[in-house]
Structure 1
Amino acid sequence: MYITITSQKMGGNYSKSATDFVGYLEKENQGLEQEDMECFFNQFGDEISAEEVIKEIDGNTAKLENMEPRFYSITVSPSKYELGKLQDNSEDLKKYSRELMKDYVTSFNREINGNPVTIDDIKYYAKIEHQRTFKGSDLQVRENQPFATKILQLKTDIRKIGNGTMEGNIKYKEKEITKLEREAPHQQEGKRIVQGMEKEGSQSHIHIIVSRKDASNKFSLSPGSKYKASNVELNGKEVKRGFDRDSFFEKAEKTFDKTFGYHRNFAETYQARKDFIKNPKIYFAALMKLPTNEKALAFKLMGKTGLPMMPSIPVTQGQLAMKLFKGLRRGVEVAIKSSSIGI
């Protein structure tokens, strides 16, 4: 499960309207018949139009400064193993979204009118998408890049030879291109993986737009707060503040597992991935204590999700070298960022 929470920006500035973001989320509906489209939904309604989403989000920004985000984007990307537990991707993920947003509100250390934040206090809209494309930050694209650079240069040379500004053998260079295309380390359906290529297999995921202001348009609720939980004095009153991301991500996993009867392996947990980066000794010690079948599955999952595979690992914790930890940690930081896990 990969989850990110980001404030929406256009360049260096926060978006003043949800129009562009909503338009981006409508891309999969282009060319489809009405009955085949995925519509926006929220906690209480389905088939919400893009126009209504824009109107509601843009109209819920009272007293926000120009340098404050108007809304946040939550992206939830289940793994192929998690998706395999679903009977109907669209309906099941819609159900999960509504449970997930209950976890979201309980992760705030805030009160509205003296009461904890509830699902009725937020304004959000969600949409299910079923396609994903490779990004420039993805491991496959980055490792294919040296081949892409050479291919681009060869194509440039061919054009120059064709217009007479360069001497050379076009057929030879075309053979070189074919060779490079074949030798690129990451392929999909016999083609070199490039940025913008659609990913194969089930890629269903959830996009959620949540307003910075509460549903009454009076209180600010920021999941981007650097505080997990603290109290501060404001206008002579003690006010709670903060959002606990760790708690939200962990609740999100447990809610998915409970809703769909999913048995989560150690390597799939948010805590394990976090320990990999921050406490590698703890991570490997826990990994080595797993039952044999669970450990084997953990290694398989690490490879499938892009995490670097470990070389031969000594059995005892004392033999685990810090140099190995640091190298793997750097690798997993990149892998996690390219996979959009929210840490």
Structure 2
Amino acid sequence: MYITITPQKLGDNYSQSAADFVEYLEKENLILEGENEEFFFNQYEDKISAKEVVRDIDGNTGKLKKIEPKFYSITVSPSKYELKRLQNSSEDLKRYTRELMKDYVACFNREINGKPISIDDIKYYAKIEHQRTFKGSDIQIRENQPFATKIMELQKEIRTIQSGEKEGGIKDLEKQIVKLEREAPHQQNGKRIVRGMQKEGNQSHIHIIVSRKDASNSLSLSPGSKYKSSEVMMKGKLVKRGFDRDQFFTKSEKTFDGTFGYKRNYVEIYRARKEFIKNPNFYFSALLQLPTNEKAIAFKLMRESGMPIQSIPTSSAQLALKVFNRLRRGVEVAIKSSSIGI
């Protein structure tokens, strides 16, 4: 499960309207028809129009400055193993979203009229998507890049020959390109994986737009707060503040597992991924102490996430910085995609 929480920005400035983001989330509906379309939804309603989402989010920004986020984007991306537990991706993920947002409000250290924040105190809209494309940050693109660069160089050389700027054998260059296309380490359906290519398999995930202001448009609720839990004097009153991100990510996993009966492996747990950053020796020790079948699954999951695990240590004496540095690059990519501000 990978979850990101980000304020929406355009360059150095925060988006002043949700219109562009909502339009982006409508991209799949441009190629779908009728019953296959995915509508926005919230805690109680289905089939909410894009126009209503923009109007409601943009109209709930009272007293926020241009330098402050107007809304946050939460992206929830279950793994392919988690998705296998679902009977109906759209309906199951919709049900999970509504439980997840209860976890979200429970992680605010805030009160409204002396009561903890409830699901009815926030304004959010969500949408299920079923497609993904490869991005530059994906390991497949990164590891294919040397081949892509060489192919582009050869293609450029072919164009210069065709234009008469230089002489050379085009057929030999074309053969080199075919060879490079075939040798690229990451392929899909017999073709080199390139940026923008649609990923195969079940790619269902959730996009959530949540207003920075509460439903009454009077209180600011920031999941990007640097405070987990604290109190501060404001206008002569003692006010609670903060959002516990660690608690939210942990709750999101437990809610998914409880809802769909998913048995989470050690390397899939948010707490374990964070432990890798703070205490890699403990992380590897715990990994090596897993039962044989769970350890095998853990290694498989790690390989699929892009971690080079050929030299996992076999004793505590080998839990050294050399191994840590070898693995860190791959794991950090996964960790960054599942949290804010670790």
TM-score, with normalisation over the residues of structure 1? Answer: 0.97
Match for residue 230 of structure 1? 230
Q: CA deviation at 1:312?
A: 4.4
Q: Tell me if structure 2 keeps the 8 A contact 1:120–1:215.
A: yes
Name the CA distance, whole Å, in 2 between partners of 1:287 and 1:275.
11
Q: Aligned partners of 1:336, 1:172: CA distance in 2, in Å? A: 44
Q: 1:247-262, aligned counterparts within 5 Å?
A: 247-262=247-262
1:274 partnered with 2:286 = no
Which secondary structure does the structure 1 equivalent of 2:207 belong to? strand
User: 1:192 and 2:192 equivalent?
Assistant: yes
Identical-pair percentage: 71
Shift of 1:294: 1.1
Letter aligned with residue 309 of structure 2:
M
Task: Please give the alpha-carbon distance, in whole angstroms, between the structure 1 residues aligned to 2:302 and 2:39.
Answer: 34
Q: CA deviation at 1:327?
A: 2.9
2:198 pairs with 1:201: no
Counterpart CA distance in 1 for 2:104 and 2:67 is: 24
Distance in 1 between residues matched to 2:143 and 2:18, nearest whole Å: 34
The answer to whether residue 218 in structure 2 is matched with residue 218 in structure 1 is yes
- Determine the structure 2 residue equivalent to 1:93: 93
Q: Which residue of 2 aligns with 1:23?
A: 23
1:141/1:193 contact within 8 Å kept? yes
Contact 1:5 1:72 in 2 (8 A): yes
**Match of 1:144?**
144
1:198 is matched by which residue type in structure 2? Answer: Q
Equivalent position of 1:341 in the other structure: 338
Please tell me whether the aligned partners of residues 281 and 320 of structure 2 are also in contact (alpha carbons under 8 angstroms).
no
In 2, are the aligned partners of 1:83 and 1:89 still within 8 Å (CA)? Answer: yes
**In structure 2, C-alpha distance between the alignment counterparts of 1:44 and 1:308, rounded to whole Å:** 45
Contact 2:109 2:242 in 1 (8 A): yes
Which residue pairs with 1:265 in the alignment? 265
- After superposition, the Cα gap between the structure-2 partners of 1:194 and 1:212, relative to the gap in structure 1 and judged at 3 Å, is same
CA distance in 1, matches of 2:168, 2:149: 19
Q: Distance in 2 between matches of 1:308 and 1:234?
A: 50
Structure 1 match to 2:242? 242
Amino acid at match of 1:342: S
Instruction: Give runs of aligned pairs for residues 253-332 of structure 1, distance below 5 A.
Output: 253-315=253-315, 317-332=316-331
SS at match of 2:168: coil
1:147-186 correspondence to structure 2 within 5 Å: 147-186=147-186
Tell me the CA shift for residue 239 of structure 1. Answer: 0.7
Tell whether the 8 Å contact from 2:312 to 2:323 is kept in structure 1 after alignment.
no
Q: Determine the C-alpha separation between the residues in 1 that align with 2:64 and 2:276.
A: 38
The answer to whether the Cα contact below 8 Å between 2:144 and 2:186 also exists between their aligned partners in 1 is: yes
1:199-224 alpha-carbon deviations (Å, 9 max, x no partner): 11100000000000000000000000
How much does 1:289 deviate? 1.7
State the match for 2:128 in structure 1: 128
For residues 66-106 of structure 1, the C-alpha deviation after alignment (integer angstroms, 9 at most, x for no partner) is 10000000000000000000000000000000000000000
Q: Distance in 2 between matches of 1:335 and 1:128?
A: 22
What amino acid does structure 1 have at the position aligned with 2:74?
I
Of stretches 154-163 and 40-49 in structure 1, the one that deviates more from structure 2 is 154-163
CA distance in 1, matches of 2:85, 2:193: 28
Residue 138 of structure 1 aligns with an amino acid whose one-letter code is D
Aligned mates of 1:252, 1:335 — CA distance in 2: 17
Cα distance change of structure 1 residues 246 and 177 upon mapping to structure 2, 3 Å threshold: same
User: What is the alpha-carbon distance in structure 2 between the residues aligned to residue 92 and residue 335 of structure 1?
Assistant: 24
Q: Which moved more, 1:166-175 or 1:251-260?
A: 166-175
> Paired residue for 1:5?
5
Q: Deviations over 1:319-338 (max 9, x none)?
A: 3112211332233213444x
TM-score by length of 2: 0.97
Q: Deviations over 1:83-137 (max 9, x none)?
A: 0000000000000000000000001011111111110000000000000011111
Between the aligned partners of 1:332 and 1:269, the Cα distance in structure 2 is 13
Q: Equivalents in 1 of 2:151, 2:167: separation in Å?
A: 18
Amino acid at match of 2:294: E
Unaligned stretches of 5+ residues in structure 2:
none
Deviation at 1:288, TM superposition (A): 1.6
Is 1:32 aligned to 2:32, yes or no? yes
Letter matched to residue 319 of structure 1: Q
Aligned residue identity for 2:322: K
**Secondary structure at 1:100 match in 2:** helix
CA apart distance, 1:279: 1.1
For the Cα contact (< 8 Å) 2:134–2:199, is it kept in 1?
yes
